[in-house]
Structure 1
Amino acid sequence: MTPAPIVALSDVTKSFGPVEVLHGVNLALHAGSVHALIGENGAGKSTTMKILAGYQPPTKGEVQLEGKPVQFASLQDGEAAGIVMIHQEFNLAEQLTVEQNIFLGRELKRGLLLDKAQMRSRCMAYLARVACDVAPDTLVSDLSNSEKQMVEIAKALSRDARVLIMDEPTAVLTNRETEVLFKQVEALRAAGTAILFTSHKLDEVAEISDRVTIMRDGDVVHSGPTAEMDEDAMATAMVGRDVSDLYPQKPGVAADAPVVLEVKDLNVPGFAQSVSFTLRKGEILGIGGLIGSGRTEVMEGLAGLRPATASRITLFDDVVQFKRPADAQRAGLCYLTEDRKLRGLLLERGMRDNLTLANLHKFGGFLIDRNAEETALTSAIAEFDIRAGSRDVRVGNMSGGNQQKLLLAKVMLSEPRVLIVDEPTRGIDIGTKQQIYAFLHKLAGAGHSIIVITSEMPELIGLADRVMVMRLGEVSGTLAPDETNEAAIVRLSMGLPAEQAPQMA
């Protein structure tokens, strides 16, 4: 007889105003089991998780705790019942230390005073469990995104959860950090914790989960043992169409295509030195390398987002050196940031404001032509397939995939001829990935030149015409189309030759 789940949803419906976003969802989490919840952005996963954790009440249906109906009035009620959620968007106080964040609201005391020694000792132990090598007194604002994610995980582990809900926990983690996290998941499963795991990386779902529930448009379309589905079947169930051909066929770049961008000895103080490369018309150049290799900083320096110097930069036959992003934009080069939430979009504003902000001069400047803005938004929604319940929705309430498509629409409103996209599909479902890949190839086919920075190995191989690999702030090597493969990229990332010399017999 199967034991009762620790927590479950029974025929849960959720509405925001007149819009129903969940339609009779059933989900059960059992002790000692990892249950994956997957679906496209906007499928209803985040709402489902928030109802389980007590962040939101269901409109209809029940939340059941050990088989009995329960009502969580707040996330504190959920945590009191042993349900802890690790958020995709960091739920950390940036101006507090790591230690203060881990114990915020649960400070340890000795009498009337804080027991700082005990909190410091426990904080170091929690960080050690996730192999996070940061000092407890480090300000969260000084951490990298991957370090912040590991602090979030350490914070959750400190709560001794009976149920752990993990919302895209590996989206910003390196492979090594992901391995550490999965070891913790295995230990928690063995200890009897019920785990709900969401990820757009279907290989991770196949590796770590016992059961999988797939959602589409607010409905559960499949639920069963993970071993019964391969990754292709999961992807097809998520999007309702075949996504086996994820990457469009590469058109290739003509050998005599003109060089539109030539960079010689670009230096970004503290991050990169002597970086040189070329980019041809209609080419997609992939930039690979480990996190911290200087990939992002080099392109930010090129686009005027951080101080940089170079022996020579030529863009469309003009010698340039951009001090501000606006200068690069006017010259036809635009950069799409990897951090759409903090640096790309204004989450408290609507789609129209976000779309046109960087190009207000096109809409009247001092007196804004709202009708022209609305027309531009209508075109962007259609061209980029941006899906939202209302044109007036606050951007922070949109799914990650639709936020990314809005950000891409915003950048394309500047009409760039050279487009730099940094981690274009981070935290994006496979269906939206397919759409973005198709759009980038369409741009390249129309003569635009594109630089794609990505940590996703299949993305580098599937998208790029050439791949430039960086290591420790320098170019480790550049791979031609017939040289590009996973082994060569990994070897260059490690500072080894792309091709391993044959061993002597």
Structure 2
Amino acid sequence: MSLLRLQDVSKAYGGVRALRAVSFDLRPGEIHALVGENGAGKSTLVRILTGAVEADSGTVEIEGRRVEHADPVAMRALGVAPIYQQPALLPDLTVAENVAMGLERGGPWRRIDWPGRRERARQLLARVGADIDVDAPAHGLRMAEQQLVEIARALGADARILLMDEPTAALTDREAERLFERIRGLRAHGVGVVYISHRLEEVASLADRVSVLRDGELVATREMAEVDRNELIRLMVGREIQALFPKRTVPRGDVVLAAEGLGCRASGIHGVSFDVRAGEIVGFAGLVGAGRTELARVLFGLTPADEGVIRLRGAAVRISTPAEAVGLGLAYLPEDRRRHGIIAEMSIAANTTLAALRTISRAGFLDFAAEREIAASYQQRFAIKAPSIDAAVATLSGGNQQKVALARWLATRPSVLVLDEPTQGVDVGAKAEIHGLIVDLAAQGLAILLISSELPEVLGMSDRVVVMRAGTVAGGLDGAAATQEAVMTLALGHQPRLSA
């Protein structure tokens, strides 16, 4: 008997059909991967399974019993626990309080066992290999830490059906592998896992079966051992993708940005030295907490440096604010696009010019014709899929939102572009498109710093790799020396072996 079965499930929003007669099942002790491009219907399927929305037609069964009029509370009681791509913690509560949400029973006037609550949170976090202060407020956690708290909370619910939607989107390879070990342990105890990921290497290593959604329809369900990566991509996008990492050699110019002994006590950054040339992509690798994002924030003036020197084209500069950074030709695409990269409720046109308002202002008034011209040019250049530049960015897929965020900073005409997790949470087709855009920008002479937790992305896109550990540079790797083994060796505090 299946743990979970969907039969001919359909769902439409207005006139848009999100799911069309989708049938899907999950066996006890199985990891069943669900893959597809953004907009394929994966998130709608998860919302139906959690009771957040109701299907227009079709049936949902759990252990052979049909579920009628499901809601989130009822589905949780039936053993369904979701873990979403974007953490949904309450920012002003502590880690322990967030873990306790939905796990503790009792009325509003019950006495809370605070030591017991903290100890349970510590135990659950230890199960996912997370060393996080349970008394820390959630708003102070990095995205990767928030994701681990979400996973720990779901494990605490003793779920029989676990819905994991991009659970490793903000995790390093090492943290992800710890999570995979835990998922395999759950499988061994009979838990069924629906695993959604754009990282096909994860799917290949974890899943027993894989189902592919495209344009709201189920196009295939296969045993994982019987399908390879190229076939999965073809099923997902309906076409061949020639190169996921379309890196090409371009002439390198002079050094545009250099850091010498850079440090910031507030960010834990110290003694950082590196340089990047025009036309060059320098990848920054390291474990979560190594200081890569903190370095990006120092360079952009969000947390100004208090030691060392930043040089732009050889001249020492002081960057105390983001406005100063933009004025000097720096642009920064942050890792959390929903919080810092876009304003979801605003239009594509407004988002595109948000960082360059001075260039489209005349006597204190915005030139809306100029705004629309700039936005339309980037929509065409980046192939942003939207009905018009007046569409709210919230209505776009993750990949198209990221293109808008990138356009916003390119509109400032920077000479240095800092990209922090530029393809996080986007599908394989959009990832290839964004990689192509990055390579094109390097060919146009931009100096690019690429921060990514995906080692294949760092290695496939970078001319050189800088590895960070504990807030400083652990080492640099060029050309053939930049391998996954060498990067991880430096990230863990060792020196890579040199080939003879």
Same topology, TM > 0.5: yes
Quick one: structure 1 residues 113 and 212, their matched pair in 2 at CA, closer, same or farther if it must change by over 3 Å? same
Match of 1:85 among 78, 82, 85: 82
Tell me, in whole angstroms, the C-alpha distance in 2 between the residues paired with 1:117 and 1:58: 42
Tell me, in whole angstroms, the C-alpha distance in 2 between the residues paired with 1:338 and 1:61: 38
Moved over 6 A (4+): none
Tell me, in whole angstroms, the C-alpha distance in 2 between the residues paired with 1:90 and 1:392: 29
User: TM-score of the superposition, structure 2-length normalised?
Assistant: 0.93
Equivalence for 1:266: 262
Matches within 5 A, 1:333-412: 333-364=330-361, 366-388=364-386, 391-412=389-410
Residues 171 and 453, structure 2, Cα contact 8 Å, conserved in 1: no
Quick one: structure 1 residues 242 and 83, their matched pair in 2 at CA, closer, same or farther if it must change by over 3 Å? same
| Structure 1, 53-62 or 313-322: larger mean CA deviation | 313-322
Tell me, in whole angstroms, the C-alpha distance in 2 between the residues paired with 1:176 and 1:309: 31
Amino acid of the residue matched to residue 277 of structure 1? Answer: F
Task: After superposition, give the CA deviation of every residue in 1:235-271 in whole Å (9 maximum; x if it has no partner).
Answer: 22222222352222421434xx322223222112242
Identity %: 40
Matched, 1:41 2:29: no
Residues 85 and 166, structure 1, Cα contact 8 Å, conserved in 2: yes
CA displacement at 1:501 relative to structure 2: 7.4
Q: Secondary structure at the residue paired with 1:467?
A: strand
Equivalence for 1:243: 241
Gaps of 5+ in 2: none
Quick one: structure 1 residues 474 and 129, their matched pair in 2 at CA, closer, same or farther if it must change by over 3 Å? closer
Tell me, in whole angstroms, the C-alpha distance in 2 between the residues paired with 1:252 and 1:375: 30
CA displacement at 1:406 relative to structure 2: 1.4
Equivalence for 2:222: 224
Tell me, in whole angstroms, the C-alpha distance in 1 between the residues paired with 2:89 and 2:154: 12
Residues 10 and 25, structure 1, Cα contact 8 Å, conserved in 2: yes
Residues 211 and 226, structure 1, Cα contact 8 Å, conserved in 2: yes
CA displacement at 1:162 relative to structure 2: 2.1
Tell me, in whole angstroms, the C-alpha distance in 2 between the residues paired with 1:182 and 1:482: 29
Tell me, in whole angstroms, the C-alpha distance in 1 between the residues paired with 2:350 and 2:60: 38
CA displacement at 1:210 relative to structure 2: 0.9
Tell me, in whole angstroms, the C-alpha distance in 2 between the residues paired with 1:73 and 1:287: 45
Task: After superposition, give the CA deviation of every residue in 1:445-479 in whole Å (9 maximum; x if it has no partner).
Answer: 11222111122211122111112222222222222
Matched, 1:327 2:352: no
Residues 107 and 114, structure 1, Cα contact 8 Å, conserved in 2: no
Residues 246 and 439, structure 2, Cα contact 8 Å, conserved in 1: yes
Amino acid of the residue matched to residue 151 of structure 1? Answer: V
Equivalence for 1:26: 23
Tell me, in whole angstroms, the C-alpha distance in 2 between the residues paired with 1:9 and 1:493: 44
Match of 2:443 among 439, 442, 445: 445
Tell me, in whole angstroms, the C-alpha distance in 1 between the residues paired with 2:445 and 2:402: 23
Equivalence for 1:306: 303
Match of 2:99 among 98, 102, 108: 102
User: TM-score of the superposition, structure 1-length normalised?
Assistant: 0.92
Equivalence for 1:125: 123
Tell me, in whole angstroms, the C-alpha distance in 1 between the residues paired with 2:110 and 2:18: 47
Q: Secondary structure at the residue paired with 1:379?
A: helix
Residues 57 and 71, structure 1, Cα contact 8 Å, conserved in 2: no
Matched, 1:168 2:166: yes
Tell me, in whole angstroms, the C-alpha distance in 2 between the residues paired with 1:52 and 1:141: 28
Equivalence for 1:497: 495
Residues 301 and 308, structure 1, Cα contact 8 Å, conserved in 2: yes
Residues 265 and 311, structure 1, Cα contact 8 Å, conserved in 2: yes
Amino acid of the residue matched to residue 75 of structure 1? Answer: P
CA displacement at 1:397 relative to structure 2: 4.4
Q: Secondary structure at the residue paired with 2:104?
A: coil
| Structure 1, 299-308 or 57-66: larger mean CA deviation | 57-66
Tell me, in whole angstroms, the C-alpha distance in 2 between the residues paired with 1:501 and 1:481: 13
Task: After superposition, give the CA deviation of every residue in 1:71-114 in whole Å (9 maximum; x if it has no partner).
Answer: 34432222122211111111111111122212225534599423
Q: Secondary structure at the residue paired with 2:148?
A: helix
CA displacement at 1:394 relative to structure 2: 4.0
| Structure 1, 202-211 or 340-349: larger mean CA deviation | 340-349
Q: Secondary structure at the residue paired with 1:113?
A: coil
Q: CA RMSD in A?
A: 2.3
Query: How many residues are treated as equivalent by the alignment?
Result: 497
Tell me, in whole angstroms, the C-alpha distance in 2 between the residues paired with 1:146 and 1:96: 17
Quick one: structure 1 residues 188 and 491, their matched pair in 2 at CA, closer, same or farther if it must change by over 3 Å? closer
Residues 144 and 288, structure 2, Cα contact 8 Å, conserved in 1: no
